[in-house]
């Protein structure tokens, strides 16, 4: 406990972000969405949907990718990174739910999807998939918690159902990763042609795989530095190979889509959207795809981490472009998130990092490693 309370620079930063975020959250619930955010009837979805939800769900895709790799495709060599990856995904989905509670005008009705069924609604499907997949992630990680409290028999029972649980998780994740893209198929006249496409569900799903792999690399590098553990470079280098294929597939589909819908001409028309679309593709897709093609880059810690950052930048840019930039030209409004929106988002992200650090300290997240938190 003394070690936990020992002040460090990042702990002080976390406390400051936490208190400002709590104040903003209380203000939002007391005074309403309009008073705390820059959203309105013309622009109802802002940072909390564009970043907290769309990015949060996509960045957590590493959970179903690594679990499927180990338990479905039986590639056991990736097993050492399963626990931290599943923990990251589980925390990601929990924090997505928290963000939804803050964004909803009437958050006390969030449970209505359980009893008020509307199978024709994409939101209904997303709500159920997120609820069920969060449960799946909890079941996948629960043996680690149970073993901490010496409940080995219960943990053994849950482990015996690992493969069917993982298969259900893969199905659920595939459904709602793509369905998040389907949400924007209903607004063809509102979303800019750079981002509106009949293939939007496919783009969302494929990009989530790339982002999930990049997030695994990102989390592994941060964990190695923060918790003084060895990094599994051979495994991460192989993930880099897969990322090349995923990014190439995404780029090919994007080019085909642009050709079919005659989108290239918009790069020569007035408007700032073309710059966002250009940098999203160049920095987030083409640059890391070309660099990761070389074995020297994949085997370099710094270069692999840098390219993971590029992919994450491209993914986050894409989700914000779809949900915010691409919607601005129709609404005629330039949306800039308020201070409270930003502070709440920073609080949610910071709490995720803090819970991950506590889990590493008190649970066997990194097997066969002795973890230190004196630098966290």
Q: How far apart are CA 339 and CA 44, in angstroms?
A: 17
Q: Which helix (H) or strand (E) holds 28?
A: helix 9-31
* Rounded average pLDDT over 353-374: 75
Residue 345 lies in a domain: yes
pLDDT of residue 2: 64
Q: How far apart are CA 344 and CA 163, in angstroms?
A: 37
Residue 369 lies in a domain: no
pLDDT at 6 over 90: no
pLDDT at 372 over 50: no
pLDDT of residue 367: 67
Residue 368 lies in a domain: no
Residue 367 lies in a domain: no
Residue 372 lies in a domain: no
* Rounded average pLDDT over 181-207: 94
Q: What is the mean pLDDT of the chain?
A: 92
Residue 373 lies in a domain: no
pLDDT in tens, 58-115: 999 999 999 999 999 999 999 999 999 999 999 999 999 999 999 998 999 989 989 9
pLDDT at 369 over 90: no
Residue 16 lies in a domain: yes
Q: How far apart are CA 252 and CA 257, in angstroms?
A: 9
Least confident range of 140-144, 229-233, 341-345: 229-233
pLDDT of residue 230: 85
**226: domain CATH number?**
1.20.1630.10
> How many domains does the structure of the chain reveal?
1
Residue 345 is part of which domain span? 2-362
Q: How far apart are CA 225 and CA 234, in angstroms?
A: 17
Assigned token pair, 354 = 């803090």
pLDDT in tens, 228-244: 888 899 999 999 999 99
pLDDT in tens, 270-329: 889 999 999 999 999 999 999 999 999 999 999 999 999 999 999 999 999 999 999 998
DSSP for 98-154, written as a single string: HHHHHHSSSGGGTTHHHHS--TT-HHHHHHHHHHHHHHHHHHHHHHHHHHHTT-HHH
pLDDT at 1 over 70: no
Residue 375 lies in a domain: no
């Amino acid at each position: 406990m003394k070690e936990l309370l020992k002040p460090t620079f990042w702990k002080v930063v976390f406390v400051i972000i936490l208190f400002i975020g709590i104040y903003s959250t209380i203000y939002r619930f007391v005074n309403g969405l309009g008073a705390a955010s820059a959203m309105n009837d013309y622009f109802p979805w802002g940072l909390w949907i564009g970043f907290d939800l769309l990015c949060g769900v996509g960045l957590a895709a590493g959970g179903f990718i690594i679990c499927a790799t180990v338990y479905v495709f039986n590639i056991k060599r990736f097993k050492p990174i399963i626990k931290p990856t599943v923990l990251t995904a589980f925390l990601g989905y929990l924090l997505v739910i928290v963000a939804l509670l803050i964004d909803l005008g009437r958050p006390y009705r969030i449970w209505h999807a359980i009893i008020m069924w509307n199978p024709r609604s994409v939101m209904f499907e997303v709500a159920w998939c997120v609820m069920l997949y969060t449960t799946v992630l909890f079941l996948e990680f629960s043996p680690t918690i149970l073993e901490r409290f010496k409940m080995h028999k219960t943990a053994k029972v849950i482990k015996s159902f690992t493969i069917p649980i993982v298969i259900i998780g893969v199905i659920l994740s595939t459904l709602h990763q793509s369905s998040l893209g389907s949400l924007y198929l209903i607004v063809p006249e509102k979303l800019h042609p750079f981002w509106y496409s009949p293939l939007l569900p496919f783009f969302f799903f494929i990009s989530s795989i790339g982002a999930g792999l990049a997030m695994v690399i990102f989390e592994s590098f941060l964990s190695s530095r923060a918790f003084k553990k060895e990094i599994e470079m051979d495994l991460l280098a192989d993930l880099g190979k897969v990322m090349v294929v995923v990014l190439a597939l995404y780029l090919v589909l994007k080019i085909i889509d642009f050709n079919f819908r005659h989108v290239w001409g918009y790069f020569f028309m007035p408007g700032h959207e073309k710059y966002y679309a250009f940098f999203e593709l160049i920095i987030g897709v083409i640059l890391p795809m070309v660099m990761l093609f070389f074995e020297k880059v994949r085997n370099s810690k710094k270069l692999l981490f840098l390219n993971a950052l590029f992919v994450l930048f491209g993914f986050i840019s894409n989700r914000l472009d779809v949900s915010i930039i691409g919607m601005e030209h129709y609404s005629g409004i330039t949306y800039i998130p308020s201070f409270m929106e930003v502070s709440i988002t920073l609080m949610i992200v910071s709490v995720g990092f803090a819970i991950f650090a506590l889990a590493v300290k008190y649970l066997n997240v990194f097997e066969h490693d002795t973890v230190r938190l004196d630098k966290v």
